[in-house]
């Protein structure tokens, strides 16, 4: 255990590779929430402060130690939240494009930032998160907490969670087995850095993010979700399959089409849905 000011814990193996990968090929992500009603920037700022106070991982950064590797450390910086009127920023898609092109400084934190575009009848909120400590579902839960804070409801402070590997080791390994779940056998620091230095399926350098959207109405979304469950898949899996089909039809000369689809590990490690 490191005895350093602000130290929280070591990064797990998955967190380490995401940290190393982001330093070479920034691949953070955005979640957008569109809400109705008048937004007061001061109250919205206070709601973000309440959300940050309830989520310990929204007040951390990642620092590299030459001897012990990267670890999570507390930081006292408030979340970076920008505000603009819809007259200045009429299309949140352009904001997402800029956010995706702007990397995080892992050693500074926090590892999430927000942009609020507000008007007379509603607002669009763009949350940009670093993958090392957040996934898509986590970001959606943060949006939910933000809505509750805007509604004046108190938020419960969540506990600091261990790494994914530690959760798996505690739940699935036989009693008495001793391993280092933060760095499993065969995944030393050098190998993780080598993996992270390589592109996934192609180089990303020089990319300019472009965002296009398709909007589904509520009845269609409900039917799509129901059919996904009937076919023992997820809504995300169905959309990924449809995307691959569209690419295959548009480029019939393509021999392969690779797509990465995240999975939800929460049921496997028996954590609460909100963790």
Query: What's residue 50's pLDDT?
Result: 97
Query: What's residue 182's pLDDT?
Result: 52
For 20, the 3-state DSSP assignment is helix
Query: What's residue 184's pLDDT?
Result: 53
Furthest CA-CA distance within the chain: 62
Check if the beta carbon of residue 143 is closer than 8 Å to that of residue 123: no
Tokens of 27: 């691949």
Query: d(Cα 182, Cα 15) in Å, to the nearest integer?
Result: 9
Query: What's residue 200's pLDDT?
Result: 66
Domain boundaries, the chain: 1-213, 224-275
The string of DSSP codes covering 146-198 is HHHHHTT---PPPPPP--HHHHHHHHHSPTT----TTS-TT--HHHHHHHHHS
Number of other residues whose CB lies within 10 A of the CB of residue 106: 19
Rounded to two decimals, what is the model's pTM? 0.84
For 234, the 3-state DSSP assignment is coil
Check if the beta carbon of residue 141 is closer than 8 Å to that of residue 274: yes
Q: Pick the closest to residue 240 from 224, 217, 255, 251 (CA basis).
A: 224
For 138, the 3-state DSSP assignment is helix
Alpha helices in the chain (DSSP H): 13-24, 41-54, 92-100, 136-150, 164-172, 189-197, 218-230, 235-250, 266-269
CA distances from 231 to 53, 219, 235, 248, 249 (A): 40, 19, 10, 22, 23
CATH of domain 1-213: 3.30.559.10
Check if the beta carbon of residue 48 is closer than 8 Å to that of residue 116: no
Query: What's residue 51's pLDDT?
Result: 97
CA distances from 214 to 75, 93, 98, 140, 185 (A): 38, 12, 20, 19, 44
Name, in order, each residue with C-beta under 8 angstroms of 62's C-beta and a sequence gap of 6 or more: 11, 19, 70, 71, 72, 73, 106, 107, 109, 111, 132, 133
Query: What's residue 43's pLDDT?
Result: 94
Check if the beta carbon of residue 73 is closer than 8 Å to that of residue 7: yes
pLDDT along the chain (275 residues), means of 10: 81 85 84 91 96 95 85 94 93 95 90 95 94 86 95 91 78 60 59 74 75 91 94 87 84 75 68 55
């Amino acid at each position: 255990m490191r005895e350093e000011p602000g130290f929280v814990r070591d990064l797990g193996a998955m967190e380490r590779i995401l940290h190393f990968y982001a330093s070479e090929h920034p691949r953070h992500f955005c979640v957008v929430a569109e809400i109705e009603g008048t937004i007061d920037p001061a109250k919205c700022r206070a709601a973000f402060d309440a959300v940050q106070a309830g989520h310990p991982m929204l007040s951390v950064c990642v620092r590299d130690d030459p001897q012990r590797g990267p670890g999570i450390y507390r930081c006292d910086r408030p979340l970076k939240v920008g505000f603009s009127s819809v007259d200045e920023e009429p299309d949140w898609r352009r904001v997402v494009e800029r956010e995706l092109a702007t990397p995080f400084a892992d050693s500074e934190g926090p590892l999430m930032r927000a942009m609020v575009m507000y008007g007379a009848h509603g607002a669009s909120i763009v949350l940009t998160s670093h993958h090392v400590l957040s996934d898509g579902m986590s970001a959606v839960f943060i949006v939910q907490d933000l809505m509750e804070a805007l509604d004046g409801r108190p938020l419960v402070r969540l506990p600091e969670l261990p790494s994914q590997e530690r959760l798996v080791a505690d739940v699935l390994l036989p009693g008495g087995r001793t391993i280092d779940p933060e760095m499993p056998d065969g995944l030393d620091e050098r190998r993780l850095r080598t993996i992270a230095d390589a592109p996934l399926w192609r180089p990303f350098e020089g990319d300019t993010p472009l965002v296009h959207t398709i909007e589904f109405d509520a009845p269609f979304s409900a039917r799509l979700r129901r059919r996904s469950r009937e076919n023992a898949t997820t809504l995300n899996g169905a959309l990924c399959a449809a995307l691959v089909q569209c690419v295959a039809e548009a480029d019939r000369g393509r021999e392969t089409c690779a797509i990465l689809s995240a999975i939800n590990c929460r049921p496997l490690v028996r954590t609460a849905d909100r963790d």
